[in-house]
Amino acid sequence: MIDLYALPKTFPNYENYIDEKDKYKKVDALEEAFKNDINQNNFMPYIQLHEFETLLFSDLNKFKEYYIDENDIERKILALKSDVKGYDNIELINESENTAPSKRIEKFLKQYCREKATAGLYVALEIGLDKMRKECQHFNEWIEKIENLTQNI
């Protein structure tokens, strides 16, 4: 699992998809190029649209569980929700360096930058895999591939 956000230009086939508007087409093509580059049957690449924090947007209320002592946490969560209100698909909320999911979170929860390894994991665990799969189509497709591995045994 790697992030699409700030993927190096040296990534396999990157130059062919740098301007691709359809983000799902882009990550599918890059994952396929990555798989071909590694050339191992058991390698199942996954590129997160756009970064790990995208998954946390599946349920922003779970940030309250981690930042329980944070002043005005309710207001900050409402502001964060408002920041992405116009998006029907949380996997597509990144349009620039300033709108990356982690940057959106840090805009309202300043300390997240210092705590992302701990806070991100905690919030993800609170959200749970089922909710993330429901809200993130590409992530769900990857999990389904993993689940289907046992069918080929």
| % pLDDT > 70, the chain | 99
- For residue 64, the SS3 value is helix
Number of domains in the chain: 2
Q: Which domain holds residue 110?
A: 55-141
Same domain, yes or no, for 108 and 72? Answer: yes
CB burial of residue 34 (10 Å; 0-12, 13-18, 19+):
buried
pLDDT in tens, 22-39: 999 999 999 999 999 999
pTM of the model: 0.91
Same domain, yes or no, for 19 and 88? Answer: no
Same domain, yes or no, for 8 and 68? Answer: no
Backbone angles phi, psi at 112, to 5 degrees: -55, -35
Per-residue burial over 59-85, b if 16 or more Cβ lie within 10 Å, else e, is bbebbeebbeeeeebeebbeebeebee
Same domain, yes or no, for 18 and 63? Answer: no
Residues 6 or more apart in contact with residue 77 via CB below 8 angstroms: 60, 61, 63, 64, 108
Residue 126 has pLDDT above 70, yes or no: yes
